[in-house]
Amino acid sequence: MIDDEWRRWIAENLLLDASPEAVHAVLVEHGFEGEDALCEIDSTLQSPYFQAGSRLRNRLRKREWMLSVYGELNRMRSDAGCVERRARLSRDAFYEQFYFQNRPVIITGMFDSWPARKLWNLDYFRARCGLVEVDVQVGRETDANYEINQPALTRTMRFGEYVDLVESAGVTNDFYMTANNASRNRAALATLWADAPAIGEYLDPAPADAGYFWFGPAGTKTPFHHDLTNNLMAQVIGRKRVLLVPFTDTAHMYNHLHCYSQLDGGAIDVERFPSFEQARVIECTLEPGELLFLPIGWWHYVEALDVSATMTYTNFIERNDFGRTYSTYREL
């Protein structure tokens, strides 16, 4: 008997433009009588609820079309295939040319004077904070959804023990200290924040501990996702490879839950996810001493090429509270 779960499946696939014949074939393949399947499909197509869903689908398609046009116009820019690098970008230029226009940029020369640029290394971390307890994500390589499931992967250990793990690990994504572990780590590693003062040209200097500390071995990955805020990423130690996709290409990102994509940025499978070939992918390598501005809504995948320490910030001088109207945390 065709139950409500199968009825939901029938409606969803018809709304996604699967043909009635294809839906019928799947139902028969799963053991339903052919005549029963035909009746259920016809009933779905005639339902006023389905017709209302079709109207909403068409409204969403118009919005997707408008976004796609905006994206195509941006592709016509002469610098559309790369992330522009700018030296010591002024506040006005940063906000007018990048922040307000939702464009990424790499900025050089803005935190050369940070004590962290000279002091931060593994020995310094051990000496300054080795005995404090911190939260780390552990066991990421055994969980394909390690970012979504990060609360279950969180482990507490001494920072010095974690530094030893990073030093001896080689290339791995099995453990990583990320912004998702921020609450305990911000207090435990407070002495490090003095080494990375606010970049006042772009950021509000209060509170002094507004940043997020990311630290791990070569090979750590942050899967494709988009943020609900604008972000500034300061690369202190090591290099990171970053893949960026404009928010206008969201329709090609297989966004299945909240802000996450089903795509594996380290091994993109276009046979399984063919629509991704239509997305504009911009790749860059962030070097030590460089800032990357990640605009809100832009999809990004990040992979450490070396042992890496990064600070990220959201406390911009201009408004950055857009996430307060976001509501689709659980599903799309």
Per-residue pLDDT of the chain (332 residues; tens, 9 = 90+): 899 999 999 999 999 999 999 999 999 999 999 999 999 999 999 999 999 999 999 999 999 999 999 999 999 999 899 999 999 999 999 999 999 999 999 999 999 999 999 999 999 999 999 999 999 999 999 999 999 999 999 999 999 999 999 999 999 999 999 988 778 999 999 999 999 999 999 999 888 888 999 999 999 999 999 999 999 999 999 999 999 999 999 999 999 999 999 999 999 999 999 999 999 999 999 999 999 999 999 999 999 999 999 999 999 999 999 999 999 888 76
- Whole-model pTM: value is 0.92
Pairing mode, strands 175-176 and 221-225: unpaired
Burial of 130 (0-12, 13-18, 19+ CB in 10 A): middle
3 state SS of 207: coil
**pLDDT on residue 182:** 77
**pLDDT on residue 208:** 80
**pLDDT on residue 101:** 96
Overall residue count recorded for the chain in this entry: 332
Determine the number of helices (DSSP H) and then strands (DSSP E) in the chain. Answer: 11, 15
Contact 2, 36 (CB under 8 A): yes
- Classify 50 in phi/psi space as left (phi over 0), alpha (psi -120 to 50) or beta: alpha
> Comparing C-alpha atoms, which of 268, 267, 260 is closest to residue 225?
260
**pLDDT on residue 74:** 92
**pLDDT on residue 32:** 95
In the chain, the domains with their CATH numbers are 4-68 (no CATH), 82-325 (2.60.120.650)
Long-range Cβ pairs for the range 275-280 (8 Å, 24+):
275/251, 276/252, 277/252, 278/249, 278/252, 279/245, 279/249, 279/252, 279/253, 280/71, 280/75, 280/80, 280/81, 280/245, 280/246, 280/249
**pLDDT on residue 180:** 81
* Helix intervals (H) in 130-219: 150-153, 159-168, 182-188, 190-193
